[in-house]
Amino acid sequence: MEACKEAFLPNYRYEDYKNWEGDWELIGGIAYAMSPAPSIEHQEINSKIIYQMMYQLKACKHCKVLPEVDWKIDEETVVRPDTLVVCNLESNGAYLNKTPEIIFEVLSPATKKKDRNLKSLLYAKSGVKYYILVEPAGNFAEVYKLENGKYYLEGEFKEQSYNFEFEGCKITFSFKEIFEEL
């Protein structure tokens, strides 16, 4: 069978995306269905990330922690990270249109490959300074930092803390707090 030609692939845009029912992401004009509702463990971990980031950033008036918000990168790409941190946000419209400083993705079996590969490349190209992949199955997180347009692994964290620095803010994030009592 002849390989599928690019001309035959769908090429959706934001105008299409905003009218769809259900949960979708749009990457390079291709629609990706979001997995079924996240597991309780996934939601619990994400809630702990949000709480800790909000607590750490409470003194920082120009940075916001946002869970599951649409980030419109361009007309053909809209993603919905689990949690992100954005600074100096000028408007609160239907979607985020500014590059986040930090993105957390809590991995699930249905999205792991896309998060590790496609989204990693997309976020690096878009200039996201920190990309954190949280693996509930092993109770650890991988912290990646953007340098010269490419992500480099800063380390694998279970009980340690990591110091994030961005937009004049410095925070110490404890990975132990998101994995304890799971």
pLDDT at 1: 40
Mean pLDDT of 107-134: 95
CA distance 53 to 159: 16
Superfamily for the 36-179 domain: tt1808, chain A (3.90.1570.10)
**pLDDT tens, residue by residue, 71-98:** 999 999 999 999 999 999 877 688 999 9
Backbone angles phi, psi at 16, to 5 degrees: -70, -50
Length of the chain, please? 182
pTM for the model stands at 0.92
The pair of structure tokens assigned to 1 is 């069978």
Domain residue ranges in the chain:
36-179
Task: Give Dmax (Cα) for the chain.
Answer: 59
**pLDDT tens, residue by residue, 122-161:** 999 999 999 999 999 999 999 999 999 999 999 999 999 9
**pLDDT tens, residue by residue, 143-152:** 999 999 999 9
**Secondary structure percentages of the chain, helix, strand, coil, to 5:** 25, 35, 40
CA distance 64 to 135: 24
pLDDT at 92: 67
Rg, C-alpha atoms of the chain: 17
